Amino acid sequence: MGDHVELVAGCYEQIVFGYRVCTSDKEWTLEPNFTHHAHTASLTAVSSSDRFIATGSKDETIQLYDMSKKTEHGALLHHDGTISCLEFYGTSHLLSGGQDGLICVWSTQKWECLKSIKAHKGHVTSLSVHPSGKLALSVGTDKTLRTWNLIEGRSAFIKNIKQTAEIVLWSPDGDQYAVVVNNTVDIYTVTSATIIGTIAFPKRISCLKFLKNTLLAVGGDDESVCIYDVTSQKCVCEFKAHENRVKAIESFMKDDFCVLVTASNDGFIKLWKLNLEKLETPSLLGQVNTTARLTCLSVWISGEAKETTVEPSAQPATSKAVAEPPVPAKGKRVRLPGEEVILVEESSSTKKGKKKKKQRVQ
């Protein structure tokens, strides 16, 4: 059985949709595979590893979904405020950023918070892990771009930028990165940490995807997606993708071509066939109307990880599937490395089922 691809999308309506991509010579179809309604507010972020999907929401929780079993896998509670960004690094770690200014590094084996970094004064708006896994970049509402040494969990470099950046993204080979402010993308080179070029998009930008080191797809408050040559910063391909603003762009390689996946406020997820060698207007491979206002998107590919771990991965202590301890009694302190977290079980008396959290980061 070959690798199969699933698209996972989150929306304002609190639901995560899973679609299996069924390829054919004619039109590709997107078969609904699962819906997951674990959040109590709109979704803000989604990321996938070899086995798990992590989703973030305005409800302040990160919910996990096991793609191999198609089951809920519990919640991660640490952030106080909206989860703004999520990124798996390989199969071992998940990084989360929030409006509380924290970046949390989670182990995917025990689902514990290994590090909680006070990253920004204000909100963390975006983070990106270097392909090597040794460092990460983050941007926030304190108008800074910060480089993090993930091995030691400390700041390696701080750069003041004039405005709040919404997105930061490493190139696939990790020698440059893109920073989005409003409707421009600044391309930085690692060697000098200076801007080597700027891409101007017609409207406010909401999503970016490097298709390869030299090609960057950009979408935003416009119906069109533009693909830019990173070196010249010129738009080399532009096409109308949706009837409304484009909220997310992903891509994966299939045989000798690139499949671009776009999701929009108009409810549609669309698959586009793109030849990266000779850039012509992409052709539509297939689409689905989710009828929801989509906010985020991830591509999950089965069998991507080569790891064969026999022992099942642990579930977080707040997982619904774990009834006996490790769930702490009400208000009992759980010692985690470097901080104190008080978990309070949900009860009908807590407002809107919101989980109370107190934390003291040492």
Query: Which tokens sit at 185?
Result: 């993308």
* pLDDT the model gives residue 152: 87
Least confident piece of the model among 146-160, 172-186, 213-227, 292-306: 292-306
* pLDDT the model gives residue 357: 46
Dihedral of alpha carbons 149, 154, 156, 162, sign: positive
* pLDDT the model gives residue 336: 36
* pLDDT the model gives residue 318: 54
- Reported as a single tens digit per residue, the pLDDT across 318-340 is 543 333 333 333 333 333 333 33
- Reported as a single tens digit per residue, the pLDDT across 3-26 is 799 999 999 999 999 999 999 988
Residues composing the chain: 362
* pLDDT the model gives residue 304: 56
| Residue-averaged pLDDT of the chain | 87
Q: Which residues contact 236 (CB under 8 A, 6 or more apart)?
A: 215, 227, 228, 229, 279
* pLDDT the model gives residue 313: 60
CA distance 272 to 301: 17
Which residue is it, tokens 């930028």?
A: 161
CA distance 290 to 268: 6
Distance of CA 128 to the CA centre of its chain: 9
Q: Does residue 185 contact residue 226 with C-beta atoms inside 8 Å?
A: no
